[in-house]
Amino acid sequence: MVDYICSYLDSIRDRRVFPGVQPGFVHDRIPENAPLDGEPWPDIFADVENVIMPGVTHWQSPRMHAYYPALTSYPSMLAEMLTNAINCLGFTWASSPACTELEMIVTNWLGKMIGLPYHFLHNKESDGGGVIQTTASESTLISLLSGRNITIQRYLKLHPDVPIHEIHSKLVAYCSDQAHSSVEKAALIGLVILRYVESDAEYSMTGAKLLEAITEDKKKGLIPFWVCATLGTTGCCSFDDLENVAQVCHKEQLWCHADAAYAGCSFICPEYRKWLKGVDLIDSIALNPSKWLMVHFDCTVMWVRNSSALHCAFNVSPLYLTHEFSGLAIDYMHWQIPLSKRFRSLKLWFVIRSYGVKGLQEHIKKGVKLAEKFESLIKADKRFEIPAKRHLGLVVFRLKGDNMTTETLCKRINSRGKIHCVPANLNGKYVIRFCITSQRTTEQDIETDWKEITDVTNNLLSENSLDIALQGNY
């Protein structure tokens, strides 16, 4: 398996990045029922190449430009091998002390690496700290639920006679119209009103627009309680104005959560921390080392200023989960939705130690440089436009003119399977997202990818002009 994995990753460029299969393709290759008797390993192993690989979207390929990165690396994989052999469940400190303690230390490491204020770190003086969650979407939900609980409690103190559900019915959450769909999901689960704040020309939510919405809602008798500021939106990697958003939240007593899933990784480079301005006033922030820091999925680090807010939202303590040090050590089950967690800090620890801070910074800088190269290629071709400023490793582009042509271009590119991109909708404009994902991507790869894009474009546009010419004939 080790050999297979090394050869898979070494030769990943040779594989079609996006599979050319139809729904149901695995169905015909696997029996309807489980085998009664065990099968020999060679038979099982052979099916990896025969059954599985033809249907895999190869996220580690330098040709993968869809979504945001989901990178793995050898130190990360080695750590997880050990994690799976130990296979301890981390819910209380006692269920595996090393699991809890390493998580505290490594989230402190990473918090310092991105320049978070001291109160977000585990320390003896404050109530803050980091925790590894499964996903950024879960972190968003957890912060929304904590904010919901705190606001209801605060309101109840002032108005003890108002029923909880009356308060609940008035709670309003806010995010930019560019925020990730997981914010909408969190609001659905939390059963609160979600209000989208219109972003500005740079696709940013400003403090002024947020304040306007909050003021309006308060006039209606509603209770604004929570804001998600996005640092690096999914559509075009735009940034909300955290500094002013945080000030508004602070003044209005709203929980402010920063979703920095992708872009947060770049904050290990000081030059990108400009977007973090205002972080000292917010309540929680999450980023995914599983995106751009070569720690494989899942690994989201979430830091909170006030961990008791999480405890109050989630704390349930039966006898079978109490232990000698209950109350003295951290029991991470109170920081998260599931009871149990895997020993995920191990992979983050191995990766940080293997690359060092400098190695990880170089990895980020290289990704940005390659995106700049792609951007310059697009800019030099007058048929294209870049409707949103490039930030970090993501370039969004489109063919000038109607949406349909760009949509066709995107579909054709994907159906050829040589490179893989997904579209986004920027205020009605259909764009193609081209994200540098893999640590294996070279300048040569970018040139090859660009050639693929221009080949498809040339064909598409010549057909189109033929169409127009033909239409002219009728």
Restricting to residues 90-149, name those near a copy of itself by CB under 8 A: 93-99, 101-102, 104-105, 108-110, 112-113, 134-135, 137-138, 141, 145
Q: Which of 314, 302, 294 is nearest to 438 (CA)?
A: 294
156 binds a copy of itself (CB under 8 A): no
Q: Which of 207, 332 has the CB closer to a copy of itself?
A: 332
User: Containing H/E element for 88?
Assistant: none
Q: How many chain residues are in contact with a copy of itself, going by CB under 8 A?
A: 133
Cα–Cα distance, 208 to 363 (Å, whole number) = 36
72 binds a copy of itself (CB under 8 A): yes
Segment interacting with a copy of itself, rule: CB under 8 A, options 278-286, 338-346, 451-459, 463-471: 338-346
324 binds a copy of itself (CB under 8 A): yes
Q: Which of 214, 242, 352, 419 binds a copy of itself (CB under 8 A)?
A: 352
* Per-residue b or e along 199-231, where b marks 16 or more CB atoms closer than 10 Å to that residue's CB: beeebbbbbebbbebbeebeeeebbbbbbbbbb
Q: Which of 355, 395, 362 is nearest to 377 (CA)?
A: 395
Nearest 5°: the CA angle 273, 279, 284 is 120
Q: How far is the CB of 269 from a copy of itself (least distance, A)?
A: 13
Q: Which of 55, 115, 270, 401 binds a copy of itself (CB under 8 A)?
A: 55
Site for a copy of itself in 4-33 (CB under 8 A): 4-5, 8-9, 18-19, 21-27, 30, 32-33
In the chain, the largest separation of any two C-alpha atoms, in whole Å, equals 87
Q: How far is the CB of 121 from a copy of itself (least distance, A)?
A: 10
Site for a copy of itself in 374-433 (CB under 8 A): 411, 414, 422-425, 430, 433
Amino acid identity of 205?
A: M
User: Containing H/E element for 320?
Assistant: none
Q: Which of 10, 46, 50, 82 binds a copy of itself (CB under 8 A)?
A: 82
260 binds a copy of itself (CB under 8 A): no
Report H helices in 257-306. 289-292
Segment interacting with a copy of itself, rule: CB under 8 A, options 206-214, 215-223, 311-319, 379-387: 311-319
Q: How far is the CB of 465 from a copy of itself (least distance, A)?
A: 26
Q: How far is the CB of 111 from a copy of itself (least distance, A)?
A: 10
Q: How far is the CB of 244 from a copy of itself (least distance, A)?
A: 26
Question: Around 341, how many Cα atoms within 13 Å sit in the side-chain half-sphere?
Answer: 29
56 binds a copy of itself (CB under 8 A): yes
Cα–Cα distance, 410 to 426 (Å, whole number) = 15
Cα–Cα distance, 149 to 339 (Å, whole number) = 19
